[in-house]
Chain A
């Protein structure tokens, strides 16, 4: 959909603070290394449920839900979302390893495992983000209401 009032792309990109890009990169490295540590603790097998990736994606859902409730209810440092949300949690969670887990299970002839793992991850991650978001928002609003 062409829009004449849209500025050129390089204006949009030049407006990105270098600090935000650095925060995303640094957070992405830390989150990915934490995910790797989890994979070392719970090694995956093609014919078994990939617990490490499941835990990373569900825990990451809890954290992003709580973080976004804090960021939408209060005013925080502008680098907090790039570092914690886009960087650390984006790097900690992974969609690609999730799809690889489904593919490996299918390749190993474990169709039930593939679909079970696929559905369990998406259901648990969505439930985690919703529960953490609403619980944190409720807490923040109660505390603010009590203080006012």
Chain B
């Protein structure tokens, strides 16, 4: 890597996340990053078949922050997301979600954390076809053990907050792809969840609809959630506060967006 990278990275102000900390304080939640990946390494296979999917990746995502992860196929993007969500365990390193280390947590703690703190959004929406939008959003809360009446109330509130109330009683096949994905984001963030992990959530959508999905994800992060978005589409990664580039399992570069004041000063648009 050229020394230009090093200086570019060192020169970046470490101000991003300040807004997130503010949001967290406003919401009365614990300070510090929602997600912390420390020296994360994942090796698949052994001997000659050994593949280093991730090599010592460090990443923090604060409340209020949306981080995009980009990289060619095989660069480790999906592995990173799987590890961050506790769906797989690293070979070494730590995954800390809301202060709990997933690598040392008991099976029961891990299951609870996956259910209560982490929301997932997938490329193919993964809504349950036999349930309405409201029932889909209520489902994770019911699994959390709250009454179905309360779960439904929370689901309707979440849909309304996301501007999706008109979809509440529709079944997935009565919704467009973009609508389904927005409902899936509502489901990922219902209740107290504030970490959302999105794997190519715009994969099957056109650019305008994809933008609408990203605008929703962005607004949820602005409201205090923390998000990781894995995508190979620059246009969608551009909604993030930070874009992390992976190559061969390592972070090779990170870009921050500019400070708001400088945006219209003529530097951004030429």
Co-complex (A, B): no
Residues in chain B within 8 A of chain A (CB atoms): none
